[in-house]
Amino acid sequence: MGVVTALAGIGDAAFWAALLAKMGASAAIVVLASLAVERAGPLVGAMIATLPLSAGPAYTFLALDHDAAFLRDSAVASLPAIAATALFIATYAGAARRHGVAASLAAALAVWIAAALLLNRLGGGLWIAGLVTTLVILACIGACRSFRAGGPLPGRPKRAGDVLVRAGIVMALVVAVVLAGRLAGPGAAGILAFAPVVMVSLAVILHPRIGGAATATVLTLSLPGLLGFVAALVALALTIERFGPALALPLALVINVGWNGGILLASRPRRRHAVPPPRPPSLETDS
């Protein structure tokens, strides 16, 4: 009966009007952010990529359609998706140095789907999911250590179709999340909300233009930023029912942004106290 009601709501014109608005808003956010990624350098770009560019709007729209308990369950279900994204990045980074974008993406997405489904079946609640996700991310950081070295991104020509690719990917995700939330419940919605949309967009755009090695550098530099997602989701799950979406969602955003900002500050080279150069020997002699 619930599925019939959900299907009836999907057929309503107001539903599709709201969905189109959600698709447009989310696409605009991710397109603008991914353009910034390409101009900010590998580390800054990686930290931008691990902001909740697609998940944030997805959770905001879920909050408009569902209650706090639904969002809490979605947050717990999102944690395995974060672990799967770490495995996606590790797989792509390893494949991109030897293969093209299509083969690398196919392998990485297959790993993401399998990992998200498998880890989601483990259960255990919020704390077990958070611990497992953290351990997976740390393992991927260690495994990808050799891929992190890299200088500034090489120059690349602009292509008008890039914007359409990025917009199309994120709009497809918004549709999937909204429909999953209505038809399949919080588990599917939570997993899809953290599908690696930004990572896929960056791979599709950057790999053909700057090469697989440089793209692998950008993606692997984003792995520490995924730990900010874990902290934000745990905070969201703990606060959403007590404080409501109006406070819990901004708090999760602040945690995520603060974590990435801390990584950037910690990565800044420390300025050493300048040692004054020795004075040249005086030409004057003592009389």
Give the pLDDT confidence of 53-64 residue by residue, as tens digits. Answer: 777 877 888 888
The string of pLDDT tens digits covering residues 117-164 is 898 888 778 999 999 999 999 999 999 987 766 545 555 556 667 677
Q: Note the pLDDT of residue 159.
A: 64
Name the token pair of 72.
Answer: 């809490």
Q: Is residue 75 assigned to a domain?
A: yes
The string of pLDDT tens digits covering residues 209-234 is 778 888 888 889 999 999 999 999 99
Q: Is residue 207 assigned to a domain?
A: yes
Identify which has the larger pLDDT, 272 or 93.
Answer: 93
Please say whether the beta carbons of 235 and 251 come within 8 A: yes
Q: Is residue 83 assigned to a domain?
A: yes
Q: Note the pLDDT of residue 51.
A: 83
The string of pLDDT tens digits covering residues 232-280 is 999 999 999 999 999 999 999 999 999 999 998 988 765 444 445 555 5
Q: Is residue 269 assigned to a domain?
A: no
3-state helix, strand, coil in the chain (%, to 5): 80, 0, 20
Q: Note the pLDDT of residue 279.
A: 57
Number of domains in the chain: 1
pLDDT of 66 strictly over 90:
no
Identify which has the larger pLDDT, 4 or 124.
Answer: 124
Amino acid at 93: A
Q: Is residue 9 assigned to a domain?
A: no
Q: Is residue 5 assigned to a domain?
A: no
What is the helix (H) or strand (E) element at residue 29, kind and residue range? helix 13-40
Once rounded to an integer, what is the mean pLDDT over residues 87-93? 95
Q: Is residue 212 assigned to a domain?
A: yes
Q: Is residue 136 assigned to a domain?
A: yes
Q: How far apart are CA 10 and CA 255, in angstroms?
A: 34
Integer angstrom CA distances of residue 247 from 70, 218, 227, 232: 16, 32, 21, 13
Range of the domain at 161: 17-264
**Contacts with 167 (C-beta within 8 Å, 6 or more apart), sequence order:** 27, 30, 31
**What share of the chain has pLDDT > 90, as a percent?**
33
Name the pTM for this structure: 0.78
Q: Note the pLDDT of residue 241.
A: 92
Once rounded to an integer, what is the mean pLDDT over residues 35-49? 76
